[in-house]
Chains A and B, each alone.
Chain A
Amino acid sequence: GAVVSQHPSWVICKSGTSVKIECRSLDFQATTMFWYRQFPKQSLMLMATSNEGSKATYEQGVEKDKFLINHASLTLSTLTVTSAHPEDSSFYICSARGEREYEQYFGPGTRLTVT
C-alpha cells in the first residue's frame, strides 16, 4: 500500500514552453502533498506544500508564478513549470502525507530537461 506515482518519469521540452508533472496517490487519499527538487548528488529541496482545496505554500526563494501547483483532488497534485528555461532542468519529486503526520510516501521522480 501507500504508493505514489508520478507522470511523466522523464520529459524534454524546449525553452519557453510549459510542462506539467502529475503526482498521484494510488491507494490512499492525501490531503497534503509536497514537491521537492533534487540536483545531481545533492539533497532534496522542498519547493512547496500542497493542500487539497487550498493554495500551495511555497518555500522561500521558490517562484510561485514559475512553479504552479494545483492540488485538485485528494489523490492528485500537479506541478506546472511555466516558461521553462535550461536552469529549470532538474529532478522533481513529489510525496504524499499518510495518515500520520510524519509519514511521507515518495513518488519515483520526474526528470525534466529543458533544451
Chain B
Amino acid sequence: AQSVTQPDIHITVSEGASLELRCNYSYGATPYLFWYVQSPGQGLQLLLKYFSGDTLVQGIKGFEAEFKRSQSSFNLRKPSVHWSDAAEYFCAVGASGGSYIPTFGRGTSLIVHP
C-alpha cells in the first residue's frame, strides 16, 4: 500500500522568500504524485501532478515540484512566496495501476510573514 510523509507540520517564510515543502512517498512501483492546496472555506485545489516523463513538473500559481526516485521524494517549490500562498498543502500519491484514488499526507501549514 502506498503512503505519504510530510515531515513539516508548519513552515514559516517571509513574503518574497523561496519555499520548499517536503514530501516523501512509499510505493512499490512508479507512483502518481500530486500536490494540493487547501485554503479556508475552499476545496482542495490541484497544484500539479506527476505521472511520468520530465521529473520537474510545473504547476499553477508559480509552483513546481521535482520527482526524485532515488530519494522517494516529490518536493514542492516556489521561488518567491506571496502572502496569498498561506494555506495548507497536501502531498498525495496514487497507485499507478489502480484507481488513481490518492493517499494524502497529513499536510503542511504554510505561514507567510509580511
Contact = CB atoms under 8 A, between A and B. Distances in A.
A46 interface: yes
B46 to A, nearest CB: 8
Given A43-B90, A44-B90, A101-B99, A106 B45 contact: yes
Contacts of B77: none
Contacts of B41: 9, 108
Interface residues of A, number: 20
B49 A102 contact: yes
Contacts of A107: 43
Interface string A23-44: 0000000000010000001111
A41 B100 contact: no
A34 B101 contact: yes
Nearest to B102: A104
A12 to B, nearest CB: 18
A105 interface: yes
A73 B24 CA distance: 38
B47 to A, nearest CB: 13
Interface stretch (B53-61, B64-72, B78-86, B103-111): B103-111
A49 B101 CA distance: 9
A102 B104 contact: no
Contacts of A106: 36, 43-45
Interface of B: 4, 9, 32, 36, 41-46, 49, 51, 90, 94, 99-107, 109
26 contacts: A41-B109, A42-B106, A43-B4, A43-B104, A43-B105, A43-B107, A44-B90, A46-B101, A46-B103, A49-B99, A49-B101, A93-B43, A95-B43, A95-B44, A101-B99, A102-B51, A102-B94, A102-B100, A103-B46, A104-B102, A106-B43, A106-B44, A106-B45, A107-B43, A108-B42, A109-B43
